[in-house]
Chain A
């Protein structure tokens, strides 16, 4: 059994690593090594041309800025909108809580192409098409159920007695929330914000429906894939992937089945 397990695991590791390895390799390879009848698996000649072209060619900052702005705005707004609701849901009786969470889960069943279509049509009328605000509003659609879900879990973990004790000690409702609950929920809020940031950073469907001239990084990748430029594609994808990989490992202990329900797509 043992050697078999190791063999299976090695095969698995190769399967998991090769696409990521190829991405990094192609981003630093000379074209002759990749666009040939017989591309090589190992790195022979290293070149930083593609990275230089993107970083110094002025092609990185506009999409990077858009992605950063939208992701950060999405994360902050997701907290502002879902944290108060999650606090109330966490204090609901069991049946109500269960139903509310199920409704949140059900919104995940709507195909995004069906949500994005009328949004695109309306956003053109409202002047929100191809804007950071418009894309942020769209990204909140996929983010809010997840952040609400995570936050219900973290508010639930705060014992009700603490709140009641604060009330007995004369703290008003607002002060209890601000001074007692909020600090205790801070780790949960951070995790939810990071998930929201990730979901927006890597989002593609809404971006492709709601953008034209101002692209996010994932759209930039799509554009270069269709130009057939493997090297610029590989470089952009490496740039997108770095923060996602780091955050995924940082958040791995929060990757519970419940949060996974929609967090990773």
Chain B
């Protein structure tokens, strides 16, 4: 008996020892940087006085910030909607057996095997002035003078959305496909017996049971859409800032860590607020499972 107790006590100490490295790392190199970014954002650039809203004032008076905010929201909302629709269609196509399904599934994995920075570089071959999109439109007789798709404006936003769509739709599709495959087939048989048509089966069986997968996809993708960085930086650069690239330009191009910290904090609050609000509505268990 004393042996057993001793063993347990030993085990408790071991547990703490085992958890310590990861905990300290996350506290020191994730939480601490985030908190010091927040602190920095409330510190005055010249006098160092704290707290001050001067950095936030400078940011909101900067027209580029509003551009960045609008662009981030546009890319997130339009991108997420398209990804979800396209991902759902692809998942539905792949959930029924057909000849060549294995090949189709393997093809779907390609964008997951291409790093974001690479996909951004690739998209420049398509959206550049002498790119393949212009050439295709020209061959179809739709375009006379070549367009630079990455020079700013609505078409540049759509180019970013399209590039992002290429990279992440397969991920959304995989999450939704896993959700579809977890729906028991008997439910569909029962629905058929009850005389439900294809649309009714989709509307009253598939969609409600797919809700956890949709929630997971929306949250995972929503966070990444708000934080989008490498793709817009590489594909469109300064012409179309998003919040992350704006934060980067403030630090690297304007040498101002204070306003950079302020815009990073705004981005963080946006992400936290949106995610928590969504989890409140949809419930948390669904994301973890």
Chain A residues in the interface with B (C-beta under 8 A): 2, 5-6, 8-9, 12-13, 15-20, 22-23, 26, 34-39, 41, 80-82, 84-89, 98, 101-102, 104-105, 107-121, 137-138, 140-141, 144-145, 148, 167, 173, 201-202, 204-205, 208-209, 218, 221-222, 225-226, 230, 233-234, 237, 240-241, 244-249, 252, 255-258, 260-262, 264-265
- Is B18's CB under 8 angstroms from A88's CB? yes
Q: A240-B115, A257-B174 are in contact. Are A85 and B37 (CB under 8 A)?
A: no
Is B287's beta carbon under 8 Å from chain A? yes
Known: A141-B30, A240-B118. A111 touches B267 (CB 8 A): yes
Say yes or no: is B54 at the interface (Cβ < 8 Å to chain A): no
How does the 8 Å CB contact mask read for B196-226 relative to A, with 1 for contact and 0 for none? Answer: 0000000000000000010010001001101
Our pick among A16, A113, A145, A260 for the contact of B174 (Cβ within 8 Å) is A260
Tell me if B112 counts as interface (CB < 8 A to partner A): yes
Q: What is the CB-to-nearest-CB distance from A108 to chain B, in angstroms, rounded to a whole number?
A: 7
B98 within 8 A of A: yes
A/B interface sample: 25 pairs, CB < 8 A = A5-B96, A6-B98, A9-B93, A20-B122, A84-B18, A84-B19, A86-B22, A113-B244, A113-B264, A114-B265, A117-B37, A117-B251, A117-B264, A141-B29, A201-B115, A202-B117, A204-B115, A205-B244, A218-B117, A221-B118, A234-B121, A240-B117, A255-B174, A256-B178, A260-B171
Known: A19-B122, A107-B30. 18 other contacts (CB 8 A): A9-B93, A15-B166, A16-B110, A19-B114, A19-B166, A22-B126, A38-B138, A110-B271, A113-B227, A113-B248, A114-B261, A148-B22, A205-B230, A205-B244, A222-B234, A225-B234, A261-B220, A265-B116
What A residues does B233 contact at CB under 8 A? 208, 222
B91-116 CB contact bits vs A (8 Å, 1 = yes)?
Answer: 00100101010001011111111111
Cβ B117 vs Cβ A221 within 8 A:
yes
Chain B residues 53 to 107 lying within 8 A of chain A, measured CB to CB, are 89-90, 93, 96, 98, 100, 104, 106-107
Q: A237 and B264: CB pair below 8 A?
A: no
Q: Which residues of B contact A81 (CB under 8 A)?
A: 21-22, 25
With A12-B90, A144-B22, A237-B121 known as contacts, the answer to whether A173 contacts B14 (CB < 8 A) is yes
| Contact assessment for B175 and A257 in the assembled complex, using a CB-CB cutoff below 8 Å | yes
Tell which of B33, B93, B213, B271 has the most Cβ of chain A within 10 Å: B33
Q: Chain B residues near A208: list those with CB within 8 A.
A: 233, 248
In the complex the two chains form, is A107's CB within 8 Å of B26's CB?
Answer: yes
Residues of chain A within 8 A of B14, CB atoms compared: 173
Q: Residue A23 contacts which of B37, B122, B213 (CB distance < 8 angstroms)?
A: B122
Residues B19 and A101 in contact, CB atoms below 8 Å apart? no
Q: Report how far A167 CA is from B114 CA in the complex, Å.
A: 46
Residues of B within 8 A of A26 (CB): 125
Report yes or no: A118 in contact with B121, Cβ–Cβ below 8 A. Answer: no
Question: How far, in whole Å, are A16 and B224 apart by their CA atoms in the complex?
Answer: 21
Q: A111-B267, A113-B247, A144-B22 are in contact. Are A105 and B287 (CB under 8 A)?
A: yes
- Asked whether, in the complex, the Cβ of B227 is within 8 Å of the Cβ of A111, the reply is yes
Q: CB distance B113 to A249 under 8 Å?
A: yes
How far is A246 from B104 in the complex, measured between Cα atoms in Å? 17
With beta carbons under 8 angstroms apart, the residue of B33, B34, B125, B179 that contacts A230 is B125
A109-B271 CB under 8 A given contacts A36-B130, A38-B135, A252-B109: yes
B residues near A (Cβ < 8 Å) are: 7, 10-11, 14-15, 17-19, 21-23, 25-26, 29-34, 36-37, 40, 89-90, 93, 96, 98, 100, 104, 106-126, 130-132, 135, 138, 146, 166, 170-171, 174-175, 178-179, 213, 216, 220, 223-224, 226-227, 229-230, 233-234, 237, 243-244, 247-248, 251, 257, 260-261, 264-265, 267-268, 271-272, 275, 284, 287-289
Residues of chain B within 8 A (CB-CB) of A112 are 227, 229, 244
Smallest beta-carbon distance A229→chain B, Å = 11
Closest to A261 in B: B220
Cβ of B89 and Cβ of A8 under 8 Å apart?
yes
Once the chains bind, are A260 and B26 in contact (CB under 8 Å)?
A: no
Does the CB pair B33–A114 fall under 8 Å? Answer: yes
B63 to chain A minimum Cβ distance, whole angstroms, is 20
Chain B residue nearest to A202 (CB atoms) is B115
Could you tell me if A244 and B22 are in contact, using CB atoms closer than 8 angstroms? Answer: no
Determine the chain A residues whose CB is within 8 A of the CB of B21 once the complex forms: 80-81, 84-85
Query: Is A2's CB under 8 angstroms from B121's CB?
Result: no
Within the complex, what minimum Cβ distance (angstroms) separates A221 from chain B? 5
Residues of chain A within 8 A (CB-CB) of B243 are: 111
Task: List, in ascending order, chain A residues with CB within 8 A of B23's CB.
Answer: 85
Contact of A111 among B26, B271, B289 (CB under 8 A): B271
Residues of A within 8 A of B114 (CB): 19-20, 241, 244-245
Contacts of A115 in B (CB 8 A): 29-30, 33-34, 37
Q: Tell me the bound Cα distance from A222 to B252 in angstroms.
A: 15
Chain A hits for B19, CB < 8 A: 84-85, 88-89
Q: A140 touching B29 by the CB < 8 A rule?
A: yes
